[in-house]
A = this chain, B = another copy of it.
Amino acid sequence: MKHLFSVCCSLFITTLLFAQDGHELWLRSSKSQPVNIVCSKKTPTLSVAMDELRRGWQGKSGATITLTITKEKALKYDGFKLSENAVQANNDKGILYGVYELLRRQQTGENITSEVNNPSYETRILNHWDNPDGSVERGYAGHSIFWRKDEAFTVTSQDKKLWQEYARANASVGINGTVLNNVNAAPQILNADYLNRVKVIAEILRPYGMKVYLSVKFSSPALLGKLKTSDPLDPEVIAWWKAKIKEIYSIVPDFGGLLVKASSEGQPGPQDFGRTHADGANMLADALKPYGGIVMWRAFVYSPNDKDRAKQAYNEFMPLDGQFRDNVIIQVKNGPIDFQPREPFSPLFGAMKNTSVMPEFQITQEYLGHATHLVFLAPMWEECLQSDTYQKGEGSTVARCTDGSIYQQNHTAIAGVANIGLDANWCGHHFAQANWYAFGRLAWNVNLKSEQIAEEWLRLTFYNDSSARTGSSDYNASWTNDFLKPVKQMMLDSREAAVNYMTPLGLHHIMSANEHYGPGPWWAPKGMRADWTPPYYHQASVIGIGFDRTTKGSDAVEQYHQPLASQFNDPATCPEKFLLWFHHLPWNYTMKSGRTLWDELCYDYDKGVQQVRSFQKTWDKVQPYVDSTRFTAVQRSLRSQCQNAILWKDACLLYFQQFSRMPIPYALERPVNNLDEIIKNDSRRTAE
């Protein structure tokens, strides 16, 4: 009876927790203490900093805090130094970031140390794949917060409020730039109507230290300027871009620069005119240079004819190393294919020694369950950033090869493809907010641990409930034990779970066509270019499974520095998480566990499902600590995630079993779906 009573009480308490739509993100208003602020300068950014201090001060009541702008060599970019009662920086942005850090530490109860706190990258930028009609490519959280179809150029007070909230959220985690439109760029974004809207956005973002950037279509001179060509070496084209960029800066004086997806997936590029990526990027860079703007030129390129898509970015860009202007940064996705649940790092990292290179991560979960699956991405990014490229000896991690530690880069940057839309909670899934948060935190400090980020985010996002604020130290202890610990563990395990139930052992690109949500290892319509079809990637046959990228295969291993090339080349030394990325192996290949490859695959898929089930248990148990709105939303998503995980497992195992011709180990739960029906439903859905 006692147990029952306490359970009832718990459930009862839950319903009293104030309903939370999640719009406040990790910036949940909390009771603040009076504070005195001493600041000798006055800028809009300093005003924001002071407002934030008044709004969120949780230090000693009536304390005095001093904000000091003074040049100090140890401080880089927008770095700062912190003490309990002072923030010091080289500029007002540094002060603002220092204030957010101070307030975060007050709220999470972390020590406030006096160390220098510099950002890892100069530019920490979001890429919005938002189209002028308001749709968001690979967006799962509603329409664009920047663009809309109807009343496209009216700026409402609601727009401004939202953009300010957006700016504040970004600033609070150190994000200082944003590309406002899709890399698959509509040319009209450069028209005056759009640029005027960009101007308003920039004005609202500016006090928060954020610069705006635009994606441009390389053929804009022809499409928009009615020129005969968009050849980057054509004087008229050069003139057109110069004029356009001048126009942009006349409207947005601190405009950040341009992002370009060229000669990729049907987008035009310099190759259309017999020019190189360098020709194209440098032409734009020259036009931007006078204003301090940069060009972020994407290395995401592949042609339908190559034998191994994974090799192409390297093959196209390495010959151009050293040929780019110093305000060009080559933007490289974390892996060589495309934001898969797991990829080895792109071999371009560290290899381009005379060119600025920036990592591009995907915050929106295009291949990781959209806004339905709970997948905390920090471990994936950490895995990439801490990968050792060996390009300048041991310790040449992707992080150190891009943040200026190893190579002299005039500019350093890191980009994240945003998961933000008009949904009340911004990101569709409440836990997807953690990925926005994590991207900002890692961009600031590339060496932060996923666990630290998860804990910070949970403390900021889920502790600050009304019931919690009235709570005793008993409540704090039980919150830490019964909520924080298990939920943090769930977050930390979530990406590996997704890998397990989607693409274990180095499998990749076996998702359902186009929608990139469910499984689709069978998808290969007649006439479709092979490198868009899963069989190209998994190569499953009665002989075995996996893409042979060894020296005897496509030789993609050769793009990696030793000892990696040799390590990846040998199945005995290749990490098993990358095994089928680099190797085509027989179904009965013996794994380190002693199991056959087929059995291991079955166990991994099964484990993924079991992990999601364990997440469901974890979440259901924490009901007493979460407001009902967010509790129910996450609970429902986890249910869908579990169903989808089972679908992935059933589809992939039943599909591959046609080739392995081996039974799913009988210790494992059996499929509940039939392959033919999964395929039928999938093709019906994707045809809609």
A596: interface (CB < 8 Å): yes
Asked if A61 lies at the interface with its beta carbon under 8 angstroms from chain B, I say: no
Chain B residues in 8 Å Cβ range of A673: 639, 643
> How far apart are the CA atoms of A613 and B671 in the complex, in Å?
9
Whether A588 and B670, one on each chain, are in contact in the complex, defined by CB atoms closer than 8 angstroms, is no
**Contact between B1 and A670 (Cβ–Cβ < 8 Å)?**
no
Q: Which residues on the B side are within 8 Å of A642 (C-beta)?
A: 670, 672
CB pair B4–A670 under 8 Å, yes or no, is no
CA separation between A345 and B1, bound complex, in Å?
A: 35
Question: Contact: A639 with B670, CB < 8 Å?
Answer: yes
B670:A643 contact, CB within 8 angstroms? no
| Cβ A666 vs Cβ B621 within 8 A | yes
Q: CB of A464 within 8 A of chain B?
A: no
Minimum Cβ distance to chain B for residue A588 (Å): 5
Contact A588 B643 (CB under 8 A): no
The answer to whether B666 touches A643 (Cβ under 8 A) is no
Specify the chain B residue showing the minimal Cβ separation from A610.
B669
The reply to whether B620 and A661 form a contact with Cβ atoms under 8 Å apart is: no
B672–A620 CB distance below 8 A? no
Q: What's the least CB distance linking A656 to chain B, in Å?
A: 15
Q: Given the known A-B contacts A663-B623, A669-B613, are A588 and B1 also in contact in the complex, defined by CB atoms under 8 Å?
A: yes
Q: Which residues of B contact A669 (CB under 8 A)?
A: 613, 616-617
Assess whether A485 is interfacial by the CB under 8 Å rule.
no
A616 to B650, CA, bound (A): 14
Q: How far, in Å, is A494 (CB) from chain B's closest CB?
A: 16
The chain B residue sitting closest to A599, CB to CB, is B4
A424 located at the interface, meaning its Cβ lies under 8 Å from any Cβ of chain B in the complex: no
Question: Given A662-B8, A669-B613, are A674 and B623 neighbors across the interface (CB < 8 Å)?
Answer: no
Tally of A interface residues using CB under 8 Å: 31
- Number of copies of this chain that the complex holds: 2
Question: Within 8 Å CB of A670, what residues of B?
Answer: 613, 616-617, 620, 638-639, 642
B-side contacts of A7, CB under 8 Å: 662-663
For A666, the chain B residues whose CB sits under 8 A away are: 617, 620-621
Q: Is A636 an interface residue (CB 8 A)?
A: yes
Give A106 to B642 CA distance when docked, in angstroms: 51
Please state if A11 and B623 are interface contacts (CB–CB under 8 Å). Answer: no
Contacts of A616 in B (CB 8 A): 669-670, 672
* A662: chain B residues within 8 A (beta carbon): 4, 7-8, 11
- Interface residue? A248 (CB, 8 A): no
Task: A664 to B635: give the CA distance in the assembly, Å.
Answer: 13
Least distance between A104 CB and chain B CB atoms (Å): 32
Contact A664 B588 (CB under 8 A): no
- Enumerate chain B residues within 8 angstroms of A663, measured Cβ to Cβ: 7, 11, 620, 623
Partner of A661, one of B11, B617, B621, B640: B11
Contacts known (A669-B613, A670-B639); A4 close to B620, Cβ less than 8 A: no
Contact of A661 with B613 in the complex, beta carbons under 8 Å: no
Interface of chain A residues 552 through 592 with chain B (CB within 8 A): 588
Q: How far is the CA of A620 from the CA of B643 in the complex (A)?
A: 22
Contact B671–A639 (Cβ < 8 Å): yes
A588–B4 CB distance below 8 A: yes
For window 604-633 of A, CB contacts with B under 8 Å fall at 613, 616-617, 620-621, 623
Quick one: closest B residue to A624, CB to CB?
A: B663
A643 to B642, CA, bound (A): 13
Tell me, rounded to whole Å, the shortest Cβ–Cβ distance linking A317 to chain B.
44
The digit string for A653-688, where 1 denotes a CB below 8 A from any CB of B, is 000000001111010011111100000000000000
Top 6 closest A-B pairs, CB basis? Answer: A616-B670, A642-B672, A639-B672, A643-B672, A4-B588, A621-B666
27 A–B pairs (Cβ distance < 8 Å), ordered by A? A4-B596, A4-B662, A7-B663, A8-B661, A11-B661, A11-B662, A11-B663, A613-B669, A613-B670, A616-B669, A616-B672, A617-B666, A617-B670, A620-B664, A620-B666, A620-B670, A621-B666, A636-B674, A638-B670, A639-B670, A639-B671, A639-B672, A639-B673, A639-B674, A640-B672, A642-B672, A646-B672
Given contacts A11-B662, A642-B672, 18 further A-B contacts (CB under 8 A): A4-B596, A4-B662, A7-B662, A7-B663, A8-B661, A8-B662, A11-B663, A616-B670, A620-B663, A620-B666, A620-B670, A621-B666, A636-B674, A638-B670, A639-B670, A639-B671, A639-B672, A639-B673
Interface positions of A (Cβ within 8 A of B): 1, 4, 7-8, 11, 588, 596, 613, 616-617, 620-621, 623, 636, 638-640, 642-643, 646, 661-664, 666, 669-674
